Amino acid sequence: MVLTKGEIFMKLEQNDEALLFSCTKLPDVFFSEYLPQASGDFIKVYLYILFLSKYGKDIKMNDLAKKLSLSFPIIQEALKFWEDIGVITKKGTGFIVNNLQEIELRKLYKPNVALSIEDIEKNQKNEIRVRLVETINNSFFQGIMSPSWYADIDLWFNKFGFDEQVMMALFNYCFQRSALHRNYVQVVAEAWAKHNVKTFSDLEAYYQKQESAQKIEKAIQKKLGISRPLTEYEKGYIQKWTEDFGYDLSIIEIALKKTTSKSTISFDYLDKLITSWHDCDLKTSDEIQNYMVSLKNQMKNKKDFEQKVKYNNYEQRTYNNFDNLYANKQN
């Protein structure tokens, strides 16, 4: 028999064995946040109504009390307890079982009712952060981000003062490097905060500095003939010269030329030389060049002076000895 399109129908029924193999899932946040504060009877009530809600079943409170072998007052107290902390919501003659993960997220970011302008602005900011966290969850965790990440994000907002764009960029940066785990994100966040990154404009400026520093590192390696990667200590020296002193490659190159007469290359020597320029408040390559010429002239004058003094002392000794020599001849 061939059925036409109009004759096709479907009737879906639950397999009698489905109950045996089905599971009622609990998020981990239940065990960390709710179980410790609830009594055994209250937990018993919650687990059973969670089970019933999955199948959309109805049950009378008297029947619930009999099913769980609990008194009617205990059932009432349990329902009130879960309702007071937001786990269930009363609606008409029944209850809605709420999502525990959403409850915890709202605790972190849902704004409180406020009247002042400052509080209203704060509430608006919190709403933006709620949307941001949802975006992070969907973009990088396929919508199943662990609850612990919510607390971490809130901590990083407060600790580092990042705005929402920077926080999004932080997760994207780590995701692109296949390193979206808590320790790595923390390290990157601390590095950005160390360089005073708070807004997206700050982050762009930081990226530009990093790019400039990398170019300087490669240029130094090339000019010194270093084929190996620079060590962290050597990179630290370069960071000191570029970020702390504000020197560009034109200034560093003056120091590099001083190594041409040396058989071994020492970043310690370069650092002492460059630091001496900074201590003299020299800011440009012209100032440093003039300072080097002046220093060379001073050394030349000093050498000339020492030679002159040495010559004068020699003449004086010759004159003094002449009298003694004359006296010896008379004898």
Of 88-97, 119-128, 142-151, the one with minimum mean pLDDT is 119-128
pLDDT of residue 214: 86
The pair of structure tokens assigned to 30 is: 């239940």
| Domains held by the chain: number | 3
- The upper half-sphere exposure of residue 296, i.e. CA atoms within 13 Å in the direction of its Cβ, equals 6
Question: What distance in Å separates the CA atoms of residue 331 and residue 73, rounded to the nearest whole number?
Answer: 139
The full 3-state SS of 203-225, as one line of letters, equals HHHHHHHHHHHHHHHHHHHHHHC
pLDDT of residue 316: 52
Please give the residue range of the domain that contains residue 59: 22-98
Higher pLDDT, 316 or 143: 143
State yes or no: pLDDT of 204 exceeds 90: yes
204 domain-assigned: no
Mean pLDDT of 39-50: 92
The pair of structure tokens assigned to 275 is: 């630091």
Question: What distance in Å separates the CA atoms of residue 303 and residue 106, rounded to the nearest whole number?
Answer: 78
Q: Which of 78, 98, 118 marks a domain boundary?
A: 98
Mean pLDDT of 193-208: 93
241 domain-assigned: yes
What distance, in Å, lies between the first and last C-alpha atoms of the chain?
Answer: 157
pLDDT of residue 99: 86
Does residue 87 sit in the same domain as residue 112? no
Average pLDDT in the chain: 80
State yes or no: pLDDT of 21 exceeds 80: no
DSSP summary character for residue 292: H
Alpha-carbon dihedral of residues 280, 284, 290, 292, nearest 10 degrees? Answer: 60
Does residue 91 sit in the same domain as residue 110? no
110 domain-assigned: yes
Does residue 72 sit in the same domain as residue 153? no
CATH number of the domain at 78, please.
1.10.10.10
Of 81-95, 206-220, 249-263, 272-286, the one with minimum mean pLDDT is 249-263
Does residue 184 sit in the same domain as residue 110? yes
The CA–CA distances, whole Å, from 265 to 12, 220, 258, 278, 319 equal 80, 11, 10, 21, 51
Mean pLDDT of 228-247: 88
Mean pLDDT of 42-55: 89
pLDDT of residue 18: 62
pLDDT of residue 213: 84
Q: Which of 45, 70, 98 marks a domain boundary?
A: 98
Cα 152 vs. chain centroid, distance in angstroms? 11
pLDDT single digits (tens) 310-324: 555 555 555 455 455
Identify the band that residue 272 occupies on the pLDDT scale cut at 50, 70 and 90: very high
Does residue 91 sit in the same domain as residue 131? no
pLDDT single digits (tens) 152-172: 898 899 899 999 999 999 999
Percent above pLDDT 70 for the chain: 78
Mean pLDDT of 33-47: 88
State yes or no: pLDDT of 109 exceeds 70: no
264 domain-assigned: yes
129 domain-assigned: yes
State yes or no: pLDDT of 110 exceeds 60: no
Does residue 27 sit in the same domain as residue 81? yes
12 domain-assigned: no
Identify the band that residue 107 occupies on the pLDDT scale cut at 50, 70 and 90: low
Q: Which of 165, 192, 164, 188 is nearest to 176 (CA)?
A: 188
Given a contact cutoff of 8 angstroms between Cβ atoms, the answer to whether 38 and 79 are in contact is no
pLDDT of residue 186: 93
Does residue 263 sit in the same domain as residue 245? yes
211 domain-assigned: no
Does residue 119 sit in the same domain as residue 168? yes
Does residue 125 sit in the same domain as residue 78? no
Query: DSSP letters of 300-320?
Result: HHHHHHHHHHHHHHHHHHHHH
326 domain-assigned: no
Query: DSSP letters of 112-170?
Result: PP--SHHHHHHHHHHHHHHHHHHHHHHHHSTT---HHHHHHHHHHHHHH---HHHHHHH
Q: Spell out the residues 6+ positions from residue 233 whose beta carbon is closer than 8 angstroms to its own.
A: 267
Q: Which of 286, 302, 317 marks a domain boundary?
A: 286
